[in-house]
Structures are given as structure tokens and as C-alpha cells.
Amino acid sequence: MKKNKRSKSWIINQHRDQYFKKSKVLGYRSRSAFKLIEINKKFKLLNHNTNLIDLGSAPGGWSQVASQIITKGLIIAIDTKEMKNIKNVNFVRGDILNDNIKDKIISKFAGKMDVIISDMAANTTGNKDLDCIRTNNLCLEIINLSTLLLKNNGSIVSKIFMGQDFLEIKKKAKTYFKKVVFFKPKSSRDNSKETYIHCKTLNTL
């Protein structure tokens, strides 16, 4: 009974959400598309020639935004869930944390990517602290992976939750990148702990 009430409450909140409504009007698959629009406006990540990997891409909101800007570069979208086709987007179904998938991506694209984006979050358990830690561990994995895939002047954007391991992730990122900043888009829900880490330009010896 409680679960049904929560589900109904979520549906009501979605329909009151201006970004949810705008996503339907503009044909975006998720309201999260507006987060990437804001992030790109602030950091100028994407252009016509950008080579990009979208991790945890389904249902495709971020890939849609990328495909509207990137017309000559390469877009790779990866997710464990199926994702419907998007023009100019090459979809790979698989888990980027799986060693076989990871090795294939690295062997093919090492040092060739301009941007890696991720709106991934760990599956919720009901324990907010645990969910925060698990999502932030994903962020650490993405930071580590990006050092192998990015060009020297490349960038990553990844979801991160404000929690006890936040400073640890910031410290780790600064060992790999010259610029590390955090940004919470207006389209993120007010009650959400999510923010986004933007790292740019690899530290090279």
C-alpha cells in the first residue's frame, strides 16, 4: 500500500515538474536532457567535431542533446539497458564496469575521446547513505576510466552525490586533472543531493 502511495506521489510530482513537461513538448526522452544543456552552456563541452562517450545512456536524454550538436564527431552510448536508436549515436549494450566491455572500449578508443559524460546512479536500496556511496564509487570508476580514453585536453562530466566521500573523490580527480569543479544545474531537483563534477585536461608528466 505504501509503495502504491509513493508511486502515485512520484507521478504527481513528475507532472508538476516544469522540466518533465518541457521534455515531453520538445521530444526528449528524459528531463535530464536539460541538465546536459545547462552543463554544456556553462562549460562549452560539445561542438560539431566532438568525440564523446555517454555512459549509462538509457533512455537517451543526454545522447539526444549530444546528437543535436555533434554532427561530424563520434558518439558512443553505453548502457546495460536497451536504448532506442538516436541519429548519429552508436549504441553498445553492456556494462562498462565489466572487464570484457571495458577492455574492448579501451582498445578501440584509448586516447581518442574529447568528452566522457555520465548521468549514472547506482540502483537504489532505500538506504540513502549507501546509495550515495555506491553512486560515488561509480563516479570514481568513470574518473579512472577517463584517464585511458581521453585526449590530453579532454573533459569528463559525471554525477556525484554530496556525502562523506565527496572530498575523497575531489582529491582523486585533482591527481588526474588540472581543472576540477562542481556544478548543480537548475534542472536538478531541489531536494536532490546530486551535483556534477567537471574535470578537464589530464595531468601529464
Which are the catalytic amino acids?
159
Minimal CA–CA distance to 154: which of 200, 203, 118, 111?
200
How far is it, in rounded angstroms, from Cα 65 to Cα 68?
A: 5
Strand, helix or coil for residue 108: helix
Residue 105 main-chain phi, psi, to 5 deg:
-65, -45
User: DSSP for 135-193?
Assistant: HHHHHHHHHHHHHHHEEEEEEEEEEEE-STTHHHHHHHHHHHEEEEEEE--TTS-TT--
